[in-house]
Structure 1
């Protein structure tokens, strides 16, 4: 397997998407949600591009230089995006997923858990903030 630096950031995002989705599903069960319809409704709230972009924005001030580089690569990756979300939001969501993929591939489980522990607080914020990445 190639190192994360040699990987296409969309490949990191592919992995990050799966890791984050598994965390969300497990987290919702831990919160006591049991009905499948409610689980699905809540999961959508966590995994939509707008939410992922908000999470990334909240984490940015605490990211290390190499993590910032991963985010920039993920944000700037060229690829298609869905029509139901603006391209900027989608690219920031991709950057978030790339960061999670990076943490997973490099075995930085504690760092990933640190980020996941902040998600509920971020979702509790009233309005999304403007996102700017160095």
Structure 2
């Protein structure tokens, strides 16, 4: 990636990073589910929600923080996404949960745009493992 292109993604709004990250994370989850043998679209969509919902992503952020899983730079991009002004609103979740999930997606957007494919795959795999191990906090 050229230095100019690298500087450009560093200037992007956290919501734009989240837009990219949402798509990147979703691809990892969809591939994982298909590799697990799920093929019915309704079943795929239902199962994907366990990984990609705002509540799941907020829970994953809490685990990343508790486990010390992320780097300082990733935490910086999380905060950029979480604190960015968004003109959409939360659906079926609190505003804070929605903002935290936006931060989660911003980290994936940053990793995607900075072409850190190995770290992106490592983080996605870690998230999948946490969900499947039942480590997400119970939702009330």
- From 92, 99, 105, the equivalent of 2:100 is 92
Identify the residue that residue 57 of structure 1 maps to in structure 2: 62
Q: Distance in 2 between matches of 1:126 and 1:104?
A: 25
Q: How many residues align?
A: 129
SS state at 2:115 partner: coil
How does 1:22-37 map onto structure 2 within 5 Å? Answer: 22-37=27-42
Consecutive unaligned residues of structure 2, counting only runs of 5 or more, are none
Deviation per residue, 1:77-126 (Å, 9 max, x gap): 11132242101111110001000000000011111111111123321325
CA-based RMSD of the aligned residues comes to 1.7
TM-score w.r.t. length of structure 2: 0.84
State whether structure 2 residue 108 is matched by structure 1 residue 103.
Answer: no
SS state at 1:62 partner: coil
Identify the residue that residue 134 of structure 2 maps to in structure 1: 125
Equivalent residues of 2:21, 2:107 under 8 A apart: yes
Moved over 6 A (4+): none
Equivalent residues of 1:10, 1:94 under 8 A apart: yes
Consecutive unaligned residues of structure 1, counting only runs of 5 or more, are 130-134
